[in-house]
Structure 1
Amino acid sequence: MPRYISIASNRYISLSVAHLKRTASDFTGWFLVLCLLFLFMRCMEIAYGRLLHGRLTAWWEVWLTGIVKDISFLLTAAAWAYPAYYFISLGSGRLARRLFTTGAAILCGVHLVLSEYFLTTLTMLGADLWIYSSRDIWQTISAAGIKWPIIPAILLTVTVASWCLVKLPPRLRTGPLTGIGLVALFIICEAAGLAAITHTWRSDSSEYGNSLSNNKSWFFYKQSIDYFFPAPADTDLYTDSHMADYINDPATWSTAAFQYPDEERYPFLHLDETPDVLSPFLRKGSSPPNIVLVIVEGLGSAYSGRSAYLGSFTPFLDSLSRHSLYWENFLSQSGRTFAALPVLLASLPFGKTGFTELDSRMPPHLSMLSLLKRQGYHTAFYYGGDATFDNMTGFLERNAIDEILDITAFPGEYRKLPAGNQGLCWGYGDKELFHFYFSTLPATGPYCHVLLTVASHEPFLVHNQESYLARVEQRISAPGFAAARRAAARNFKKQYASILYVDDALQYFFHTYAQRPDFHNTIFIITGDHRMPEIPMRDKLDRYHVPLIIYAPLLLRSARFSAISTHFDVAPSMLQLLKNQYGLQIPSLAAWVGSGLDTGYTFTNRHAYPLMQNKHYMIDFIQGDHMMIGNDLYRIQPGMSLEPVQDKHKLAQLRRGFERFRKKNRQMLDGASLLPDSIYQRYYPR
């Protein structure tokens, strides 16, 4: 090698090493400032959370674990930020410093927004932001009301962060060797997946305390990256040789053990052997009964029913349940409303971000609506809000519904819910919805109607709210209410007031219906779309725990069931009842995910089903008395609480069942049909 090339090479190496030392020293100064800023925001989050939601029993552990998770996130972020800073500074050190200062200040501002979102909704914001349409996002934010103080708080945070990032790094700058050591630490922590590891650490027995300790920025960015750059499908899991070990094993899917005649072309198609468990409880009427399904926004068993561990705020529903068929250990299929209609009416799989989001790509399917309409039923959907939200309109129209009556159909004399800060709201309250329903209800049946309420949703503003707030205070001050829960309950008086309002609206609904001649030939189904997340949850399962009530004057006797069932099971069981008692024509082959309601009186679960917390978070799966959440296994206790367990064999068994569902779900997304054309064309209403 010529001597001048060797000299140039050595000089280049020397300059590179010098640049590495200088940038590493500068960068670690900024990193330490960011750590201090995140420490300050963590303290503010804990303090503000205590102000809003009360004191945690393990707040010290939550705080310390939160700091570790924050530092893990910053170490991971630094592993990606430092190389960018290094290479940009080769061209312009000033530009690199300005870009990093601006980016770090924005990072603090975004973190504050994510923290505020969590403390308001008690749900961490993830890839949902990218899945909902801009119209749906604006409707949600506007109806909930923007908290104007958060805007100056964000601006102040960005300003203070910018000042700190300009003034403090020179004072915290480390020596070159220390700086290089920290850069190496950044890389090691990222390679080891430290942020992902610490994210799984639990700091509190409650779901709220554990979520409070999580770093909201890491969760948001991780889910966003996974959404825009999804990992390749693990196709080797689904090879025939791998599937053969358990494809016919009921324990990996459901004890119903469906028989699939052509699983490759029709992954969900099976012989419909749903047992008719409802006929023994309902006498046959002289004509087919009306079906009225009432889906109550945010109705959770944590605060409704005789076993409500937070105390019940639904006295009318509690009374009605004593004269009904009541499932106390019942689950919704999702933590948000998007899955309610497809699952309850048609027992359909989720797709990627919810079945309704498939829009024009929804595969042909049958539902309780379309099957009943074909045989003479009038079908209608009533909603006090905008039915285009979550593309409910598209799904209902695909099922040939006769009428969709939403916010656009209400006459001028009806009052909307009180407006939030932006002067906007979700729409009409539940009392107005029910009053409007009776004004349009046909005089004769049969009909199948679906009503979706909206009042018990953020911002939890209802008419005559002061009177409902007073009733909440009376209820939690009563001798029968656990004294230990009173202080915490007062932090959520608006939420409980909205539940009391819904309960009053339902009382009006049934008392008014009872005056109609068709009341005696109507079957009512009442359930929640999911549990309200704005009241802290005990655990992950709590989000899905909702009541199911089937009430009808045709009931021979009431019953309270302790066996677990889910929204997937409602439509198959209702259709079997109508088939056996009234000759309803339904195909012998069906694509229901559910296998029917369980009317067992003891606490058990014969089902195996996926649960989808939000539109980008399908990691939950139940099978028997176990629940899998990500890679963690829990045993479902009586009362629907979770207990962590260590059982690799059981975890592998649940994972196989979950993967089998995911395979079927992906087949549908890739174009596989739910039903043969011959079945669809024969039973779909013309």
Structure 2
Amino acid sequence: MRSEKSKLLRRLKNSSCLFASLSLIYLGFLFLSDLVEIGLGMLNHSVNQSFISLLGWSFLEDLKFYLFWLLPAYLIFLPFHFLLPRVAKGFFITAFIIFFVIQFLLIFYFNTTLLMLGSDLFGYSIQEIIQTVGASDSLSLAQVLIFIIVISAMIYSLLVIPKKSNLNWQYSIMLPVLSLLFLIFGSGFSADTSNLSSEFENNLVRNKSAHFYGDAYAYFNPEVYEIDIYAESYLRDLSNGYAGLEYIDETNYPFFHKQVDQDVLSPFFETKEKAPNIVIILVEGLGRAFTNKGAYLGNFTPFLDSLSNQSLYWPNFLSNGGRTFAVLPSLLGSLPFAENGFMEMEGDMPTQLSLLNLLKNNGYETSFYYGGNSEFDQMGGYLRKNNIDHIIDEDDFPESYQKIPAALSGFTWGYADKELYGNFLRNKELETSDSPKLDVLLTISTHDPFLTDEPEKYDRLFEERMEQLEFHEEKKRDYRKYQKQYTSILYADDALQDLISSYKERTDFENTVFIITGDHRIPEIPMASKIDRYHVPLIIYSPLLKRSAEFRSISSHFDIAPSLISFLKNNYQIKAPEVNAFLGQGLDTIRRFQNEHYIPLKQTKTELRDFVMGEYHLNGDDLYKLGPNMEEELVTDMSEKEELQYAFEQFKRKNAEFIKAKKIIPDSITSKYLSQ
């Protein structure tokens, strides 16, 4: 009996020693991945912190991740190895290798896109993922070599070191004990990285696997993280309605309310007998960070800057999505996000009021122009649901037009901005109808891989622009790390200048309104803050303007459709109901910095964590105060935080009810005001 006990104890000790050896190898390669990531980050991007500082924060994040999972892994390994020692060892070695393969892919993804990959991966179809990855030259030869060397070294270490290891079992058992103590006393610990100077640096030091798996778990188990928005603590007095709106039938139509008729545009416009043409230009990635005077990265859009001085201009404007999926429903329909973006509802998409279908019902001819595949992000389905007349995408360009140069993979998104605008103008010349037009153009040139067909020209313009901005040599070196991005911005600005210049030659130019904004900010240039991703300019330019003006108040894409419809209704008698389900209440034309809107922001198709109300921005559990130029500062005002959390949860409740009901507005309204 004593011999059996001794044998059992020896096997348990051996299991503990083997686990300790494997787990220390794991920790070593976790720290090695930090060295690779911080090294790549400093080599390829602009940082203000020292290598040692960033590496220290990264080590701390990884140590927390290691201690969190060490005890659960030990409790799984111990009985498994006791019963099936060879199988257990092989399984855990394989699991370690797979983990680090994914870890390095996540690191390389972040190094290229500057985005933390999470549950947004699950918001796209396999075809869309292949298309997005194929468009990017994301893996360099250096990254491939690093990957091969590290994984090879790991396999060697896992197979050889445990055999030669002579760890004392008492020391081995200390590792799971440390993990237990951490889970009891330190699991709530959060590293204070507030002294890091940018959003990029904060994300650089975070463990990419911890973010990905945590986000994925939350996506597939939403009930674990959901706040009970029907709990007593959230059932406050809603006599004024969410966002001050008067709702009509919240039970059946959560967002259906009386119209807020604030025609703020009429004082700025001359009116003619015929309704104006409207050209909406959605520029991929056009962020305020590098657009127009006062941009904190410098003004790389000289034409747009000059155009804004002749326009109505909102420098503190917000997109409602962190990616392109949100821009059409938000800007054209002021619509809620549903579960994974309104357009992802596809066949369940309810009939709604929008600029497209309301103006079509009032005699407008409607068109959408895109240089790529209009079915990406389900855009085509959304447009057809809104009875659009024409969808012109990559299949409708003449053979003489050239696509964007292909990436190394051979893939291209489609046609560049100049080709898109050229095809648009060509089709305008072929028009025979005298009806007013609503044209929506979505560009793709300022998208990864940021290639133009005149690289030498725009490389030269990039260098000249840095000289004009009086950058010193060290700053120039930093900016050259993002040369492809900045040259694509200069190209997009140049293309817009060509479009406006050509349009001025048309007879209908004098009765045309141009609306120019970004779908979101380019993420591949490091961001300074959380709000930076949504911060875009809005420019309304037209010969019909009686005067130009700059409005520093905050508005968003949600507010464009309500304001345009109110303007056209009051001046051109277009028929629109006195009720709608718009989330926006109209553009704010107050010139000082303020915010009167409730603005939910959906970062990815699967991630709804941002909300702006007043001069505050709620991001997850963090509260930021916005400054006059949309800079933000982390604050700990619990009263303000609770107010934003409450308002945000009310929006989420309505959005959840909409997902369930799939109703946005009664059929009695749509049948009266929309062409079927």
TM-score range relative to shorter protein: over 0.9
Say if 1:32 and 1:172, in contact at 8 Å, map to a contact too.
Answer: no
Task: Using the TM superposition, give the Cα deviation of residue 66 of structure 1 relative to its aligned residue in structure 2, in angstroms.
Answer: 0.6
> Which position in structure 1 is the counterpart of 2:321?
334
Say if 2:366 and 2:438, in contact at 8 Å, map to a contact too.
Answer: yes
> Which position in structure 2 is the counterpart of 1:87?
79
User: Which secondary structure does the structure 1 equivalent of 2:223 belong to?
Assistant: coil
> Which position in structure 2 is the counterpart of 1:180?
173
Q: Structure 2: how far apart are the matches of 1:233 and 1:206?
A: 28
User: Which secondary structure does the structure 1 equivalent of 2:438 belong to?
Assistant: strand
Q: Structure 1: how far apart are the matches of 2:175 and 2:158?
A: 18
Q: Structure 1: how far apart are the matches of 2:5 and 2:601?
A: 56
User: Which secondary structure does the structure 1 equivalent of 2:661 belong to?
Assistant: coil
> Which position in structure 2 is the counterpart of 1:270?
257
Matches within 5 A, 1:355-374: 355-374=342-361
Q: Which string of whole-angstrom CA distances, capped at 9 and with x for unpartnered residues, describes residues 485-531 of structure 1?
A: 43321211110000010011101110111111111111110000001
Task: Using the TM superposition, give the Cα deviation of residue 38 of structure 1 relative to its aligned residue in structure 2, in angstroms.
Answer: 1.6
What letter matches 2:55 in structure 1?
A: W
Q: Structure 2: how far apart are the matches of 1:419 and 1:294?
A: 24
Matches within 5 A, 1:210-225: 210-225=202-217
Between 180-189 and 537-546, report the one with greater CA deviation: 180-189
Q: Structure 2: how far apart are the matches of 1:31 and 1:249?
A: 57
Q: Is it true that 1:595 corresponds to 2:585 in the alignment?
A: yes
Say if 1:345 and 1:571, in contact at 8 Å, map to a contact too.
Answer: yes
Change (3 A) 1:483 1:610: farther
Q: Structure 2: how far apart are the matches of 1:203 and 1:71?
A: 20
Task: Using the TM superposition, give the Cα deviation of residue 76 of structure 1 relative to its aligned residue in structure 2, in angstroms.
Answer: 2.7
Say if 2:60 and 2:191, in contact at 8 Å, map to a contact too.
Answer: no
Task: Using the TM superposition, give the Cα deviation of residue 12 of structure 1 relative to its aligned residue in structure 2, in angstroms.
Answer: 8.8
Q: Structure 2: how far apart are the matches of 1:528 and 1:479?
A: 23
What letter matches 1:159 in structure 2?
A: S
Q: Is it true that 1:54 corresponds to 2:46 in the alignment?
A: yes
Q: Is it true that 1:511 corresponds to 2:515 in the alignment?
A: no
- Matched residues, percent identical? 40
Change (3 A) 1:525 1:308: same
Change (3 A) 1:574 1:59: farther
Task: Using the TM superposition, give the Cα deviation of residue 189 of structure 1 relative to its aligned residue in structure 2, in angstroms.
Answer: 3.6
Task: Using the TM superposition, give the Cα deviation of residue 172 of structure 1 relative to its aligned residue in structure 2, in angstroms.
Answer: 5.3
Q: Which string of whole-angstrom CA distances, capped at 9 and with x for unpartnered residues, describes residues 320-370 of structure 1?
A: 100000001001111110000000000011111111111111122111101
Q: Which runs of 5+ in 1 are unaligned?
A: 1-6
What letter matches 1:90 in structure 2?
A: F
Q: Is it true that 1:101 corresponds to 2:93 in the alignment?
A: yes
Change (3 A) 1:407 1:193: farther
Say if 2:122 and 2:606, in contact at 8 Å, map to a contact too.
Answer: no
Say if 2:252 and 2:663, in contact at 8 Å, map to a contact too.
Answer: yes
Change (3 A) 1:172 1:604: farther
Q: Is it true that 1:158 corresponds to 2:145 in the alignment?
A: no
Q: Structure 2: how far apart are the matches of 1:228 and 1:200?
A: 29
Between 76-85 and 543-552, report the one with greater CA deviation: 76-85
> Which position in structure 1 is the counterpart of 2:129?
137
Task: Using the TM superposition, give the Cα deviation of residue 170 of structure 1 relative to its aligned residue in structure 2, in angstroms.
Answer: 4.6
Task: Using the TM superposition, give the Cα deviation of residue 622 of structure 1 relative to its aligned residue in structure 2, in angstroms.
Answer: 0.7
Task: Using the TM superposition, give the Cα deviation of residue 159 of structure 1 relative to its aligned residue in structure 2, in angstroms.
Answer: 1.7
Task: Using the TM superposition, give the Cα deviation of residue 546 of structure 1 relative to its aligned residue in structure 2, in angstroms.
Answer: 0.4
Q: Structure 1: how far apart are the matches of 2:45 and 2:661?
A: 46
Say if 2:292 and 2:305, in contact at 8 Å, map to a contact too.
Answer: yes
Say if 1:203 and 1:213, in contact at 8 Å, map to a contact too.
Answer: no
Q: Structure 2: how far apart are the matches of 1:234 and 1:419?
A: 43
Q: Structure 1: how far apart are the matches of 2:473 and 2:601?
A: 34
User: Which secondary structure does the structure 1 equivalent of 2:514 belong to?
Assistant: strand
Task: Using the TM superposition, give the Cα deviation of residue 126 of structure 1 relative to its aligned residue in structure 2, in angstroms.
Answer: 0.7
User: Which secondary structure does the structure 1 equivalent of 2:515 belong to?
Assistant: strand
> Which position in structure 1 is the counterpart of 2:300?
313
Q: Which string of whole-angstrom CA distances, capped at 9 and with x for unpartnered residues, describes residues 528-559 of structure 1?
A: 00010000110111111100000111101000
Say if 1:530 and 1:544, in contact at 8 Å, map to a contact too.
Answer: yes
Task: Using the TM superposition, give the Cα deviation of residue 15 of structure 1 relative to its aligned residue in structure 2, in angstroms.
Answer: 6.8
Aligned pairs, number: 672
Task: Using the TM superposition, give the Cα deviation of residue 612 of structure 1 relative to its aligned residue in structure 2, in angstroms.
Answer: 1.1
Q: Structure 1: how far apart are the matches of 2:540 and 2:374?
A: 25
What letter matches 1:180 in structure 2?
A: I
Segments ≥4 residues shifted beyond 6 Å: 10-16
Matches within 5 A, 1:252-651: 253-254=242-243, 257-441=244-428, 442-443=431-432, 444-478=434-468, 480-481=470-471, 485-651=475-641
Between 223-232 and 488-497, report the one with greater CA deviation: 223-232
Say if 1:265 and 1:672, in contact at 8 Å, map to a contact too.
Answer: no
What letter matches 2:316 in structure 1?
A: N
Task: Using the TM superposition, give the Cα deviation of residue 593 of structure 1 relative to its aligned residue in structure 2, in angstroms.
Answer: 0.7
Change (3 A) 1:557 1:15: farther
Task: Using the TM superposition, give the Cα deviation of residue 233 of structure 1 relative to its aligned residue in structure 2, in angstroms.
Answer: 7.1
User: Which secondary structure does the structure 2 equivalent of 1:663 belong to?
Assistant: helix
> Which position in structure 2 is the counterpart of 1:4?
none
Change (3 A) 1:640 1:17: farther
Say if 1:62 and 1:203, in contact at 8 Å, map to a contact too.
Answer: no
Change (3 A) 1:503 1:18: same
Task: Using the TM superposition, give the Cα deviation of residue 259 of structure 1 relative to its aligned residue in structure 2, in angstroms.
Answer: 0.5
What letter matches 1:86 in structure 2?
A: L
RMSD between superposed Cα atoms in Å: 2.1
Change (3 A) 1:677 1:486: same
> Which position in structure 2 is the counterpart of 1:247?
238
Between 142-151 and 117-126, report the one with greater CA deviation: 142-151
What letter matches 2:120 in structure 1?
A: D
Change (3 A) 1:38 1:227: same
What letter matches 1:160 in structure 2?
A: A
Q: Is it true that 1:122 corresponds to 2:109 in the alignment?
A: no
Q: Which runs of 5+ in 2 are unaligned?
A: none
Q: Is it true that 1:168 corresponds to 2:161 in the alignment?
A: yes
Task: Using the TM superposition, give the Cα deviation of residue 22 of structure 1 relative to its aligned residue in structure 2, in angstroms.
Answer: 2.8
Task: Using the TM superposition, give the Cα deviation of residue 236 of structure 1 relative to its aligned residue in structure 2, in angstroms.
Answer: 3.9
Q: Structure 2: how far apart are the matches of 1:11 and 1:399?
A: 80
Change (3 A) 1:173 1:677: farther
Normalised TM-score (structure 2): 0.95
Normalised TM-score (structure 1): 0.94
Say if 1:572 and 1:592, in contact at 8 Å, map to a contact too.
Answer: yes
